[in-house]
A and B are shown apart, each in its own frame.
Chain A
């Protein structure tokens, strides 16, 4: 009958349905805490960590902030790394090549806090230092690619 998401029997809710609910709550002016799946935001955000989101309301995005966005039919939680041809460029910290190019309307929310799954201290990921560190990491992509190739 009841199913606790914390146990090994956790069910998967479709992304479309889940994020529709996230968006509905954000539209009510509330903050939402969600769990990050996957490793695309390594090394800063790990699979299973949670982040606190606030709705994006068209304000100027600070470079290096982490956003939840819809890229075509897929929801992504990636870093805003720049603008090109009037489009917002997003990149996962853990990705070496891939970028997403999206319009402002595709941005759903901005992340403010990061809660590591390990129980470590919550981090304000929208503060200058965290954004700059992430942006610096993004601009090291070429070097990271070379290192990754050498490691193979």
Chain B
């Protein structure tokens, strides 16, 4: 799977927002925010094909989490990305 290439991550103050800058009309009435670790993952995954295991590896290599926790976090993240339409179809 891949992240939608038309979306960009904008950091506003301490918040990370996903916006679609390609449109002439930008909807900031419902914004999708990521916390700092999810925002970091977004940057790592941007433009690449990846699987759930890619996220697990990234989490285990860079955060102090055990593999079960990383798998659970990756699953939640992917479900949410899917639900919010942030992945390419």
Tally B residues with Cβ within 8 Å of A: 28
Residue of B nearest to A54 (CB): B25
* A147: Cβ under 8 A from any B Cβ: no
As a 0/1 sequence over residues 54 to 98 of chain A, the CB contacts with chain B under 8 angstroms (1 = contact) are 000000000000000000000000000000000000000000000
**Chain B positions 46 through 76: 1 when the CB is less than 8 Å from some CB of chain A, otherwise 0:** 0000000000000000000000000001001
- Please tell me if A129 contacts chain B, counting CB pairs below 8 Å: no
A21, CB-defined interface residue at 8 Å:
yes
* A30 within 8 A of partner (CB): yes
Asked whether, in the complex, the Cβ of A6 is within 8 Å of the Cβ of B30, the reply is yes
| Chain B, range 24-60, C-beta contacts under 8 Å to A | 24-35, 37-38, 41
* Main secondary structure on B side of the interface with A: mixed
24 A-B Cβ contacts within 8 A? A1-B38, A1-B76, A1-B80, A2-B32, A2-B34, A3-B33, A3-B34, A4-B80, A5-B32, A6-B30, A13-B12, A13-B15, A17-B13, A17-B15, A18-B12, A21-B28, A30-B23, A30-B26, A31-B24, A31-B25, A32-B28, A33-B25, A35-B29, A35-B30
For the complex of A and B, list the 9 residue pairs with the smallest distance between their C-beta atoms, beginning with the closest.
A17-B13, A1-B38, A50-B29, A35-B29, A31-B25, A17-B12, A2-B80, A33-B27, A3-B33
